[in-house]
Amino acid sequence: MGITARSRKPANAMSMVDQIRNDNPANYEMSSPAKWAWRLGIYLPLVVLPAVLILASPFSPPVAAKHWATAAGGCTVGSWIGMSPAQENDPGYHRHLDDDNDGIACEHVRRSIGSSSNVSSFAGGAKVIRH
């Protein structure tokens, strides 16, 4: 299992060093189980796991993708994609993002209002003007 060499094994450490320096990578091939393990190692976390999480979610697939992106990326990502602040049982709510356990996640995230750079809004709706 794993990577196997087609060439013969060296007799001592110095000949092993010489073989590594002069060896051609084409002399090595990956066994079939190793190929499958490598493919699973790439595709499982990048494709299969997110697809299962999105399909198993009670929300529609686009909303579920945003919901899990908020879980992985935190409040800043949730704010960028419009999922935070979120109340309990709403998409975008995750218990680990609710700092004070009041049922509202990411309430500390500040969002800009309109195109003005000096007006911001907190989750409760209070507007703050920065000077």
pLDDT tens for residues 72-92? 999 999 999 999 889 998 999
How much of the chain exceeds pLDDT 90, in percent?
28
Give the Cα separation of 14 and 12 in Å (integer).
6
Q: Which of 2, 21, 1 is nearest to 10 (CA)?
A: 21
pLDDT for 113 beyond 80: no
Check residue 42 and give its pLDDT.
Answer: 84
Cβ–Cβ under 8 Å, residues 87 and 101: no
Q: Give Cα 89 to chain centroid, integer Å.
A: 23
pLDDT for 63 beyond 90: yes
Residue 103 DSSP class: S
Q: What is the pTM of this model?
A: 0.54
pLDDT for 106 beyond 80: yes
How much of the chain exceeds pLDDT 70, in percent?
73
List residues bridging with 120 in a β-sheet. 112, 128
Q: Which of 68, 72, 108 is nearest to 92 (CA)?
A: 68
For residue 1 the two structure tokens come to 């299992």
